[in-house]
Structure 1
Amino acid sequence: MGIVGDDGDGHRRAVPYAGVPPVFEDRTRDACIVVPGIMGSVLEDTATGAELWGADPGMLTDPLTGKGFLGTLHANGQEQAADDDTARRNPLTRIRATTLLTKPWWLPVFEGLDPYTDLHKALQSVTLNPRAVAPFPYDWRLAVAYNGALLAREARAHLARWREQVAARPEWRAAGERQSRLLFAAHSMGGLVVRAALEQDPELAADTRAVITVGTPFLGSAKSVLALNLLHAGAKPAWLLRHVQAMAATLPGVHDLLPGYRCLDRGLDVERLTPADVARFGGDAHLAARALDEHTRHRESPFTMPGHRAIVGDAQVTVQTLDEHERAGRGVAVGRHHAFDVGEDGELVRDSLTGIPARRNTYGDGTVHGPSAQAGTEANIYVFGQHGTLPRHDEVLRQVRRIALERPQGAHLGGDGSGDGPGLETPHLGGNFGEPLTLRVTGLDTPAGVRLSVRSATTGRLNHPLTLTGGPDRTWSARFTPDAPDLYRVVLDTGSHVPISQLVLVSPPDA
């Protein structure tokens, strides 16, 4: 007599019955797709095969190679105009996305981004077979609508292939089980791409069981304006900031991250960005108009993604709104760590005595403020973590596995959206070799038992733990002097929460 057993690789086969009922590992029968955020796909030149992005972090510290690849990534007129109709009729081929990011990466303002390897493996660990999980690398330089159409096509093909594989394996087809559906796990911009795909393809939305978004800026991110305004940052290395700004100004993908909420602080009023504002800050007015029109459309006609759960970074110092100054006749954007309350009528909440708009720190993940990542769902899970390192955050991975298995979310080790918890702040423009970096820890009453460490993200070499000294408002700081230009990982371990990490690039001095 035989029963169906598990061979340890997600495959089930007939094995002799030994008198003890087997206990099977819990698995989802759904097809899963991992959708990365901006910067999260490796890009290469289609004609030459040269890797243009995500291959070697040394490209970011070498001006000779860095200027070349950043220049190649500028979007041309055809790429700027590409939309969902382009993707369906005649997809662009100059640059192609090959894989998800497999090495840590970094850019000024956007800061560090970790690989998606752990997120991919977390889903594979709870599926019937590793082939149930597919990555969706995409050219993040281009418009969200364009990439959404490509995702819709790839997701439908992946689901069809997976259903065929399930149908061919009798041991996977338990009586009464429903047909396989789709689950998307998306980080940052990836959540916008998933939303675009499901909006464009209602049948695909009907075949989707759940969408997990991690730090997705549904209302946009004020940091995108700072990326377009890098010429005015006054920081070094000037070559990197100058070339990143020039590249960002041509990219529809960056403009699609512009904030659609009231973010421009005028003192007695708070305004939404206009295309003219974006152009004044260094962006492209046409690309901005298209992106801001999309925000208006979503405000007026919200789209709810099926089974949407949002994982939201909490308690990190986050740019939420902007002040504008003028320098040498140009607009300079200055990030502010507060947002503005808006009433149910859509109007600003004002102080009853002074009439001044009510300012409030809503925190976030260091890049996306809380209200933006929460928009569109009330099924929020809060974690203490930095935006670019959330894809390998232990609590994020645990929650992704639970949602994939259709378990209740249950307790988790993050925050509650109040901003009360540990935060890590590193220089968002990076540092220069030979100059100390100031690292800040927020939200802690005491540094007792807290460990702040720095190691090379490329070699793994650990530097000595740092000593935290006190400051105002529960803020503690430490100084770190790097001994070589490199990409470094800063880790905050409080002993009570999942460690928080961030990447910071230390560049050679300007030539």
Structure 2
Amino acid sequence: MDKLKAFRTADWEVQARMLTDQETVRAVEAWLGSAALADLRELGDGSHLAGGKKNLIVVPGVMGSVLQSTGEGGIWWMDMLRARHKLNALALAPNGLDDLHADACIEPCAIDISYAPMRVAIAQSGQFGGSVQFPYDWRKPLRASAERLRDLIHQVHSDYGESVHLVGHSMGGLMIRTTLMLYGNELWSKLGKIVFIATPHYGSTSIAGYLKNHLWGWEQLAVVGVFLSRETFRSLWGVVSLLPAPEQIYPGTRNNETHPCANFDLYDAGAYQLDLDAVATHNLQGALDAARRFHTDLFDWHNGLSPSQYGRMLQICGVGRKTLFRLDVKSGWSGSWKDTDKVTHRMPGDPHREGDGRVPLASAELEKIELRYIKGEHGSLQNLPVVVDDVLAWITERPLSLPDSPQGALSTYLSSGTRSSAPNLDGSAAFNLHDDEYDRYRDLPESRIGELVARLEAGELPGIDLVRIL
């Protein structure tokens, strides 16, 4: 079997052992680069993961689950080095549930390597012998994967005879909440504590930006957009469901206030002015209607929980990073992206103008649950030692150390643990843009994108697979 494919589709414990094979090491280095390989090796050989209870399930964010195709022979999100010309086989049919190409046969198989640092830290804590992964098909509505997560919770509870704890990063938190919404009556008695890390409970303006302007935000993401078409992106109902929640649900709109994330209707396909034909407009509207229902159902369910159920949940929110907060279309909009203003500046004390680089704070602050804050970037929060420490503290009912206000996170200096334990592995070393860099890649010239594509073709962009839309 291909060494890199075997590595990428294995769970971390197996991956750690595979790194003793030099052929695998060379393949991983070509894929991620030498710096990320060094991060991997620092995580150890996996020997410390043997034994102990694993009644903790880790649920990754969007693109955090590796997808493989038996029909196309190895489409993984993402294998830009070898399968970039096959990325459009990820497209879904207009119902949002089936592969558009019936012979693609795409299924989730593992959690992405960027979650290994957090999982190793959990295993090394002495409180768990490791964790159980839950890969899911993030392309599809989260309801489509909820039954599998329900079954896994039952299985882990049966295996260890103890309460099962759930930790979800980004979209993974929405995956957990969707499962509880659908199957909570049979699950709550088997669950312990639940932690959400950087979860966009009310969505992200970035998704609206991608629908309008396709993939942007980093040079490498723009390169992905060369191979993943706009039509394919629009077909991914799970991704579209990460749009900012509609008015009356998104925080700040419940008393008929103007939506803080856009000055146009995010749930009207025509409002995006994409110059689509009737069929494409109809298909996009189907995805938008499903996203609206998703947010509405989840909002109604959450408001019906009991105090004890709220009391089991913790959200860790990232702050201190420039974020796409709002899309403003200019007067006389012609449909061009250049006629759209991206509002990215932060405003102290305003949850609609504070964020983690991908998620506005207003979206992350889920009502009625415990909230803690950390200055950090969305894609690496799960690998910050101080975050992992508080995840474990919450689960074991010990005092939390993170500040309980955004102001505290922005003003308090934590002596250690605020840098990713593997910055080259989760992409934070390459993709964590500071405020003064954030807008640099708004409108990349075609010549620059062509340059980067040529470097990719020559194998000179290792680590590009670490880039994420959120």
Would you call these one fold, judging by a TM-score over 0.5? Answer: yes
Does 2:372 correspond to 1:374? Answer: no
Q: Answer yes or no: is the 8 Å Cα contact 2:264–2:329 preserved in 1.
A: no
Q: Deviations over 1:159-208 (max 9, x none)?
A: 21222xxxxxxxxxxxxxxxx11100100111111011111112112211
- Kindly indicate whether the alpha-carbon contact (under 8 Å) linking 2:354 and 2:360 is maintained by their aligned counterparts in 1: yes
CA distance in 1, matches of 2:366, 2:126: 29
- Give the structure 1 partner of residue 3 of structure 2: none
- The answer to whether residue 93 in structure 2 is matched with residue 76 in structure 1 is yes
Change (3 A) 1:122 1:233: closer
Q: Give, in whole Å, the separation in 1 of the partners of 2:169 and 2:246.
A: 21
Q: Which letter maps to 2:319?
A: D
Assess if the C-alpha contact under 8 Å between 2:54 and 2:129 holds in 1: no
Return the alpha-carbon distance in structure 2 between the equivalents of residues 193 and 338 of structure 1: 30
Q: Is the 8 A contact 1:52 1:69 kept in 2?
A: no
Distance 1:230 1:271, change over 3 A: closer
Gaps of 5+ in 1: 1-7, 12-26, 60-64, 83-91, 103-114, 164-179, 341-357, 423-442, 445-451, 469-473, 490-502, 506-511
Aligned to 2:322: 317
The aligned counterpart of 1:258 is: 243
Match of 1:53 in 2: 77
**Deviation per residue, 1:328-364 (Å, 9 max, x gap):** 5457654323799xxxxxxxxxxxxxxxxx9775411
Higher relative contact order (CA closer than 8 Å, sequence separation 6+)? 2
RMSD: 4.5
**Identity of counterpart residues, as a percentage?**
23
Structure 2 CA distance for partners of 1:70 and 1:504, relative to 1, 3 Å: closer
Are residues 1:192 and 2:192 paired? Answer: no
Partner of 1:159: 157
CA shift digits 1:290-319 (9 cap, x unpaired): 111222233444254551100100111112
Matches within 5 A, 1:102-501: 102=113, 115-126=114-125, 130=129, 133-163=131-161, 180-201=162-183, 202-231=185-214, 240-242=224-226, 243-262=228-247, 273-276=266-269, 280=273, 284-303=284-303, 304=305, 307-325=312-330, 328-329=334-335, 333-337=340-344, 361-409=352-400, 411-412=401-402, 416-418=405-407, 421=410, 457=424, 485-486=460-461
- Amino acid of the structure 2 residue aligned with 1:125: Q
Does the CA contact (< 8 Å) of 1:225 and 1:333 recur in 2? no
Change (3 A) 1:57 1:130: farther
C-alpha contact (below 8 Å) 2:352/2:361 kept by paired residues = no
Greater percentage in helix: 2
SS in 2 for 1:396: helix
Q: Once the two structures are superposed, what CA deviation does each residue of 1:228-255 show, in whole Å capped at 9, x if it has no partner?
A: 1225979978764353533221101111
Cα 1:256/1:57, change in 2 over 3 Å: same
Q: Match for residue 347 of structure 1?
A: none
CA distance in 1, matches of 2:437, 2:237: 38
Question: Which one has a bigger Cα radius of gyration?
Answer: 1
User: Alignment length, in residue pairs?
Assistant: 365
SS at match of 1:123: helix
Distance of 1:137 and 1:271 partners within structure 2: 35
Instruction: Tell me how far apart the structure 1 counterparts of residues 296 and 439 of structure 2 sit (CA, whole Å).
Output: 43
Aligned counterparts of 1:33 and 1:296: Cα–Cα separation in 2: 26
1:31–1:181: 8 Å Cα contact kept in structure 2? yes
Structure 1 pair 361/191, CA: closer, same or farther in 2 (3 Å)? closer
**Which residue of structure 2 aligns with residue 108 of structure 1?**
none
In terms of fraction of residues, the more strand-rich structure is 1
1:33 and 2:15 correspond: no
CA change 1:277–1:153 in 2 (3 A) is farther
Using the TM superposition, give the Cα deviation of residue 388 of structure 1 relative to its aligned residue in structure 2, in angstroms: 1.0
Aligned partners of 2:408, 2:291: CA distance in 1, in Å?
29
Distance 2:379 2:165 in 1: 22
Q: Retained in 2: the 8 A contact 1:9–1:129? A: no
